[in-house]
Structure 1
Amino acid sequence: MSQQRTQHKDPRIVTALRRFAISITALNIFGYTVLGFEQAWAWPLLALAVGYSVEILLETIGAWAEERRARYLGGGVRGFVEFLYPAHITSLAVNMLLYVNDQVPVMLFAVMVAISGKWLFRAPVNGRLRHYMNPSNFGIAIALLLFPWISIAPPYQFTEHLTGVGDWIVPAVIVIFGTLLNAKLTGRMWLIAGWLGVFVLQSVFRGLVLDTSIVGALATMTGVAFVLFTNYMITDPGTTPSKPSSQFAFGGGVALVYGVLTGASVVYGLFFATAIVCLIRGGFLWSLHAVRLAARPGPTDAGALDGKVSASVTREMVRA
């Protein structure tokens, strides 16, 4: 019988997840009633049902395989709700950002891929296994690759039924609340700085080298979709670095890869760039783990380290 491990949750991350969940729920309600979201009203509910089910199923299987208690048990109603925050955020984000016409199975497939990716793609971080592929982004990217006839949701839907000052209020609210959230809870402002700074540089570079309109490239940053991506997608605390320098490199790396993809006429560069950089980071984390194992050639030490990483999978992982 394996020893039951105590789950320690960072209250700041739990609070951040709660506010992420509330924010995206409010945005969906506002989007369907006021803004002009074009997916069917029932789809976010279907996405949530599938996302919750897959999350609970995979956690149940994982708990059985690792001989531990499932993380949705033991914390009462509050603990169960907190367990579902990541699935809630991921499911609503995938449905909100994908446009699959009337093919709802494709959207639900993307939700299942997004949730499953947190179990399939993990790497050792500070002695425990953590998922490194941004869940929502991963599900969307895989769907776009497998089903080239679908697209991302049209950006105009976020302000389709607004006019005048209303066109400015929505992005302003997202920026204000997103900045407060990332500054006080997730601590990802250095990542945002790297992302925005290098995005400006690559826009100017493409304008000078590839005869791209610099104003047009920079105007991308004014759209609601870009603002959402900046404040609520790329800053996922579970799949991004914590150190300021690493954050800056990660955000700048996504912008750089985006510039390369866009310069090569690859569409949906935001999602593919984020997936590529997350994948590179995962490979880097595994390479660091291999170097540490190589530095401890003794079978006892290596075995102990492997055991520590394997057991650590039972600890709370931050999901988005």
Structure 2
Amino acid sequence: MTTTESTREDGTATEAVVTVPQQRKEPSGKPPVDKRIKALRRFALSITAFNLVGHLVLGFEQSPITPLLALVVSYATATLFEWLDCWAQHRKPEYLGGAGALVNFLLPPHITALACAMLLYGNASVWPYVLAVVVANASKYLIRLRVKDKLRHVLNPSNTGIVVVLLLFPWVGIAPPYHFTNNVGGAIDWLIPFAILMLGTMLNAKLTGKMPLIVGWVGGFIAQAVLRWLIFDHALVGALLPVTGVAFILFTNYMITDPGTTPVKSRNQLVFGLTTAFVYGTLVLNGVVFGLFFALVITCVLRGLVLLAGKLRPEFKPAEAATQAPAPANAGGTP
């Protein structure tokens, strides 16, 4: 709060109190952390814990060296691409500014590395995972649009890396359905997906604000399954069965909700989720496997085209009045 002095017409000095809004601080006295950073930290912590439990307890089938190698490659490539982009754009790298800035910068490549290492299955070879991570990080710099005077990447990084590897190497697949609960049984088979569902839903509800997108995606998935059953005589149970799997829950809460490549407005989020679901249904009808990942990358491309079309559309300004309002007859005189 500051006090300023002003003068009336009669020469009398007065004081005016001007209130300057202050940034709300947390109990520790530090400024509040951006919601995006909070979400990234929670995502990174969740996927790290799940990978550790997966390799130590649940029976993940990839070699334990896979997530470690993916992390090293992801950190290195993300830093390299950021440095190259900063050199070309003449700006300061995001990883500079202390340990906190470096950690925040490495959160997305950390999530990308563990997602690719967990969801892909490259048999005995580690090179598909390495390629997926490199492509994922590169896509953030190669495919961008300027939105509100800032360059934004269009494609979901982890999903893009996975899709490119699946297209290039037919012998590479996605982790099998039993992968996430391989070494457990009984009630734990139900508790694991339930826990992931609850944690992911709370995270998206509180931090990312992507619940409309999730509603559109899940509702659209159910709708396309019913339509395939009614129109194309597909088995309804089989069409709905993926919803019960851990892979679907992970995709719903941690992949499709990527804040950097999905809309902000609730209506647009709903459209994004519905579009992904119906693209998935179309791919299934055409016999395309791994439809979840291909549907998401196609939807991201469609959204990018919509954004690009909006930028290319000419801006129409209101036509100025042909004639200005005439000045009052007594202009310059007393009213």
With the shorter chain as reference, the TM-score category is 0.7 to 0.9
Q: How does 1:203-218 map to 2 (within 5 A)?
A: 203-218=225-240
Are 1:14 and 2:31 an aligned pair? no
Report the alpha carbon displacement of residue 273 of structure 1 after superposing the two structures with TM.
Answer: 0.3
Distance 2:69 2:201 in 1: 30
Match of 2:211 in 1: 189
Aligned equivalents of 2:74 and 2:139: distance in 1? 12
Measured on the aligned residues, the alpha-carbon RMSD in Å equals 1.2
Residues 142-200 of structure 1, C-alpha deviation per residue, up to 9 Å, x if partnerless? 11011111100112110111111100111111111101110010000000000011110
Give the number of equivalent residue pairs. 286
**Contact 2:120–2:162 (8 Å) recurs in 1:** yes
Contact 2:77–2:134, Cα closer than 8 Å, also in 1: yes
* Equivalent position of 1:280 in the other structure: 302
Checking the alignment, whether the CA contact within 8 Å between 2:128 and 2:172 is kept in structure 1 is no
- Would you say the 8 A contact 1:258–1:270 is kept in 2? yes
The 2-side partners of 1:131 and 1:149 are apart by: 29
| Residue pairs, 1:25-174, within 5 angstroms | 25-74=48-97, 76-174=98-196
Q: Which residue of the partner structure matches residue 228 of structure 1?
A: 250
Deviations 1:90-112 (A, max 9, x none): 01101110001112112101110
Runs (5+) with no aligned partner, structure 2: 1-31, 318-335
1:271 aligns to what?
293
> Any residues of structure 2 matched to 1:169-180 within 5 Å, and which?
169-180=191-202
Q: TM-score, normalised by structure 2?
A: 0.84
The 8 Å contact of residues 111 and 139 in structure 1, kept in 2 or not, is answered as: yes
Residue identity in the other structure for 1:20: F
Larger CA Rg, structure 1 vs 2: 2
The Cα shift of 1:13 comes to 0.4
Any conservation in 2 of the 1:124–1:285 contact (CA below 8 Å)? no
Q: Indicate if the aligned counterparts of 2:214 and 2:252 stay in contact, CA closer than 8 A.
A: yes
Instruction: Specify which of 229, 242, 267 is matched with residue 245 of structure 1.
Output: 267
Deviation at 1:45, TM superposition (A): 0.6
Find the residue that maps to 1:129 and give its secondary structure: strand
CA distance in 1, matches of 2:90, 2:150: 17
Using the alignment, how far apart are the partners of 1:270 and 1:49 within structure 2? 27
Q: Which runs of 4+ in 1 moved over 4 A?
A: none
Task: Please state whether the residue corresponding to 1:265 is helix, strand or coil.
Answer: coil
Whole-Å Cα distance in 2 between the matches of residues 125 and 171 of structure 1? 36
Tell me how far 1:252 sits from its aligned partner: 0.5
Q: Which has the higher contact order (CA 8 A, sep 6+)?
A: 1
Normalised by the length of structure 1, the TM-score is: 0.87
1:39-79: CA deviation from partner (whole Å, max 9, x where unpaired): 110110100000000000011111111112111001x1111
**C-alpha contact (below 8 Å) 1:144/1:151 kept by paired residues:** yes
Q: CA deviation at 1:10?
A: 7.2
More helix by share: 1
Aligned counterparts of 1:117 and 1:68: Cα–Cα separation in 2: 19
The answer to whether the 8 A contact 1:207-1:214 is kept is yes
Matched residues, percent identical? 52
Q: Which amino acid aligns with 2:196?
A: I
Give the Cα–Cα distance (whole angstroms) in 1 for the partners of residues 100 and 141 of structure 2. Answer: 23
TM-superposed deviation, 1:207:
1.0
Q: In structure 1, the residue corresponding to 2:212 is in which secondary structure?
A: helix
